Chains A and B, each alone.
Chain A
Amino acid sequence: MVTRGTTTATAGTTRTAEERARRVAADVPDPELPMLTIDDLGILREVHVDGSGHVDVDITPTYSGCPALEAIRADVLTRLDEHGMPDATVHVVLSPPWTTDRISADGIEKLRRHGIAPPGPAGGAHGDGRAPVPLALTVRCPRCGSPDTRELARFGSTACKALWVCGDCAEPFDHLKAL
């Protein structure tokens, strides 16, 4: 009985520590889209804390070569350290692959507010791997809301963005590509 009681108490402590560690990690901003956190973007995966207090954080890259990943790793470790969790390891996991569908509803709204047209659904576009590049049929201008927009370049300022322009307000804007 005593043993069981102890185990339950330890599990409870670990769970609390895990929730705390997750909250801290979830708050880390993305270096290239600083108005969004890595949790908004779906870059943060699992957070585990073991009995000794060691924190394991799993993150996943948006694109294979995304250079922000190293910065994110460092930021997560720094934040955890600042919050009294210096004993931590950040793991990069690839599977299942990141998709823009992992961006939270809150994240989508933040993108729009900051002048970046959010991605349409990627779901199924690559589901069977046979579909072509997902086409954004109705990208609305994030500034004036007009649907009269066109793609200028599919590869934009970062790996995840395309460059578009609005036909109504004539402003160019970034569009996060469905992936």
Chain B
Amino acid sequence: MSGDTTSERSGWRSAAEPSVERVRSGARPGDVSGLVEYTLRLGDDALILSQRLGEWITRAPQLEEDVALANIALDLLGQARSLLTYAGEAEGAGRDEDALAYWRDERDFRNVLLVERPNGDFAETMARQLWFTSYQYELYDRLRASADPTLAAVAAKAVKEVAYHRDHAAQWVLRLGDGTDESRRRMQGGLAAVAPYVDELFDPDGVTGGLGAVAVDPAALREPSERHVDGVLDRAGLERPPEPAHVARGGRRGLHTEVMGYLLAEMQHLHRSHEGASW
């Protein structure tokens, strides 16, 4: 019983109740700046994709899809809140989730370029969803065993949600790929459009390498993610697009594409104009 209580209490607590004492007491391998950086990457991926998916609300092809994409965006936003709160606590500079989401500028965001891509048509969004959910499912599945109890707790919760997101993407890719000539053409086009942005998901670097058992090696996620994507494409009668002529990367270092500034302007301006606004 006492063991249970301890493990429950090692979980994430909300911004209103910063668990600074746990951050101090946690025996954590690696230095804190690496942990902050890694947690920001996870949180920013979820936050920025949530913002993009939210743009579909009232514009999706069916009412049910409005609801589905909003629900998926909400799950991602919840994950982002947990992760950004924790990044702020680990950093110890007094920044909470709102400070990190609304008061950082473009160069300080650590998300991959894939998630900031404009939505394109519905097929392109589903191509992005198929790749990102396949990656994120494998990531969270392994992160459940992280040496960091807070990251492990966030991942154990989120992996169950992402299983639904991944299935949602797969169902649509199957339907579009195995649908009409037009839907197949669009789906194939969507896959080609996101292809240059896939590699960055699996880039290892000094941050992930330096964190040992706290982080998951992104390179190890490539094979299982590709296997899942290839399986879906096979069943959908779609082809894996040819190797892209160029590969885009840089998001993990804060080097974003032109669209990121517009995304942030929309996401941040209300809070910056009316700090703490809520409804």
Contacts and interface: CB of A to CB of B under 8 A. Distances in A.
Interface in A74-119: 89-99
B168 A155 contact: yes
A126 B78 contact: no
Interface size class, chain A: 35 or more
A42 interface: no
B82 A64 contact: yes
Given A91-B13, A133-B164, A179-B160, A64 B68 contact: no
Contact of B17 (A66, A92, A154): A92
Contact of A46 (B5, B16, B81, B167): B5
Interface of A: 45-46, 58, 60-61, 63-67, 69, 73, 89-99, 126, 129-130, 132-133, 152-157, 159, 163, 177, 179
Contacts, number: 114
A67 B141 CA distance: 24
Interface size class, chain B: 35 or more
A94 B157 contact: yes
Nearest to B74: A65
A14 to B, nearest CB: 15
Contacts of B229: none
B156 A96 contact: yes
A2 to B, nearest CB: 28
Contacts of A98: 157
A65 B81 contact: yes
B10 interface: yes
B64 A93 contact: no
